[in-house]
Amino acid sequence: AQKVTQAQTEISVVEKEDVTLDCVYETRDTTYYLFWYKQPPSGELVFLIRRNSFDEQNEISGRYSWNFQKSTSSFNFTITASQVVDSAVYFCALSEARTGFQKLVFGTGTRLLVSP
Amino acid sequence: KAGVTQTPRYLIKTRGQQVTLSCSPISGHRSVSWYQQTPGQGLQFLFEYFSETQRNKGNFPGRFSGRQFSNSRSEMNVSTLELGDSALYLCASSSNRGQETQYFGPGTRLLVL
């Protein structure tokens, strides 16, 4: 069965600190996608990144970077030099080929609080 | 391009009533998915529609239903509301050429009293 675990419920950092959000997933599919979404207080889920199971190349986008390791079934997200605007709940999600990739299974989310 | 829109944004109902939520996908997107978000259960998949057909369904009772129109707009209906149906209902759309990203709307916050 598919499952996404975000063990960190809440993380508090001071502005300019680096922070890593952990995500561990379980799936029996060999073809799947992993996602990170950000949910600010307004409630809308904002797409950040998508990774397919065949692409383990790490990615950097500005202050954001993602580390995908199939060997440990992890897809971790690092924010460098955090800012107050990064405060939000971050969700890791998984979709599988057998459901046509349209059913997202979400982790429980990690609330990030960045204080000035 | 305009994003996913959902109406209404907020809704208050009483137990036993029914409710209909609406979702307009991003222009050109043909797949619409619905999710329920509650503090206790987190984000859970309700169902997905493509070309007016339900393709995937989550583990929700039959009180939860949906439909999609020829213009890809979708509605979700919950009948005989229960207190536990209070939640943020999120709609997402994708172009669905197989492995497309889902983009979410702002959600409808439903409170059942």
Express each pLDDT in B30-45 by its tens digit.
Answer: 999 999 999 999 999 9
- The pLDDT tens digits along chain A (116 residues) read 799 999 999 999 999 999 999 999 999 999 999 999 999 998 899 999 999 999 888 888 899 999 999 999 999 999 999 999 999 999 999 999 888 788 999 999 999 999 99
Q: Which pLDDT value is given to residue B98?
A: 59
Across the A/B interface, how many CB contacts are shorter than 8 Å? Answer: 62
User: If residue A112 lies in a helix (H) or strand (E), which one and from where to where?
Assistant: strand A110-115
Query: Distance between CA atoms of B104 and B90, rounded to whole angstroms?
Result: 7
Residue B1 has pLDDT above 80, yes or no: no
- Residue B6: which pLDDT band, with cuts at 50, 70 and 90? very high
Q: Is B96 close to A46, i.e. CB distance below 8 A?
A: no
Cα-based distances in Å from B65 to A37, A85, B62, B71, B107 = 26, 37, 7, 19, 17
Q: Which pLDDT value is given to residue B85?
A: 97
> Chain B residues with CB inside 8 Å of A53's CB?
none
Tell the burial category of B98 from Cβ atoms under 10 Å away from its Cβ (0-12, 13-18, 19+).
Answer: exposed
Give the nearest partner residue to B99 out of A33, A44, A91, using CB atoms.
Answer: A33
Q: Does A48 touch chain B (CB under 8 A)?
A: no
